[in-house]
Amino acid sequence: MTEPVLQLNAVTHIHRRGSVEVTALRDVSLTVAPGELVAVMGPSGSGKSTLLNLAGGLDRPTSGEITVCGTALKSLSVSALARMRRRNIGYVFQDFNLLSGLTAAENVSLPRELDGDGAHQAHVDAEAALALVGLADAADRYPDALSGGEQQRVAIARALVGQRRLILADEPTGALDSATGEAVLTLLRERCQGEVAGVLVTHEPRYAAWADRVIFLRDGQVVDHTDTDRTDALLTVGPWPDDADMGA
Amino acid sequence: MSVRYGLLALLSQAPKYGYQLKSEFEQSTGATWTLNIGQVYSTLQRLERDGLVAENSPAGTDDDHRSYQLTEAGHTDLVAWFAAPVPRDVSPPRSELTIKVVLALLLPNVDFHTVIQTQRAATMRGLQALTKAKLERAGDLAWRVVVDSLIFNAQSEIQWLDHCEALVALAPTGLPSAGPPKEDHDD
- CATH code, A233: 3.40.50.300
Distance of CA B29 to the CA centre of its chain: 12
Whether A1 maps to a domain, the answer reads no
d(CA B36, CA B70): 21
205-234 of A, contacting B, C-beta below 8 A: 205-206, 208-211, 214, 216, 218, 223-228, 230, 232-234
Average predicted confidence (pLDDT) for chain A: 87
Cβ of B4 within 8 Å of Cβ of A224? The answer is no
| A109 and A128 Cβ atoms separated by less than 8 Å | no
Report chain B residues whose CB lies below 8 A from the CB of A187: none
**Which chain A residues are closer than 8 Å to B152 by Cβ?**
206
Residue A227's closest chain B neighbor by CA? B125
Residue A57 lies in a domain: yes
Average pLDDT over residues A120-138: 89
Alpha carbons A80 and A73: distance in angstroms, whole number: 9
Does A164 map to a domain?
Answer: yes
- Quickly state the pLDDT bin for A1 (edges 50, 70, 90): low
CA–CA separation, B127 and B136 (whole Å): 14
Which pLDDT band holds residue A222 (cuts at 50, 70, 90)?
very high
* Residue B58 DSSP label: -
In a domain, A197, yes or no: yes
Classify residue A31: in a domain, yes or no.
yes
Residue A182 has pLDDT above 60, yes or no: yes
Minimal Cβ distance to A205: which of B33, B43, B155: B155
pLDDT digits (tens, 9 = 90+) for B56-76: 877 777 777 889 999 999 999
Q: What pLDDT is recorded for position B163?
A: 94
Mean pLDDT, to the nearest integer, of B111-136?
93
The C-alpha atoms of residue A33 and residue A39 are separated, in whole angstroms, by 13
State the Cα–Cα distance between residues A28 and A47, nearest whole angstrom.
10
A58 within a domain of the structure (yes/no): yes
Would you say residue A192 lies in a domain? yes
Task: Please give the Cα distance from B141 to B149 (Å, whole number).
Answer: 12
The answer to whether B39 contacts A248, with C-beta atoms less than 8 Å apart, is no
Give the mean pLDDT of B167-178.
73
DSSP collapsed to 3 states, chain A = CCCCCEEEEEEEEEEEECCEEEEEEEEEEEEECCCCEEEEECCCCCCHHHHHHHHCCCCCCCEEEEEECCEEHHHCCHHHHHHHHHHHEEEEECCCCCCCCCCHHHHHHHHHHHCCCCHHHHHHHHHHHHHHCCCHHHCCCCHHHCCHHHHHHHHHHHHHCCCCCEEEEECCCCCCCHHHHHHHHHHHHHHCCCCCEEEEECCCHHHHCCCCEEEEEECCEEEEEEECCCCCCCCCCCCCCCCHHHCC
Q: What is the pLDDT of residue A228?
A: 58
Q: Output the pLDDT for position A17.
A: 82
In a domain, A52, yes or no: yes
Report, as an integer, the average pLDDT of A188-211. 93
What is the domain extent for residue A37? Answer: 6-246
Look at residue B62 in the predicted model and tell me its pLDDT. 76
Do A38 and A226 form a contact (C-beta atoms < 8 A)? no
Q: Is the ipTM beyond the 0.95 threshold? A: no
Domain count, chain A: 1
Q: Which of A212, A227, A243 to mutate to test the interface with B (most CBs of B within 10 A)?
A: A243
Angle between helices A104-114 and A119-132 (to 10 degrees): 130
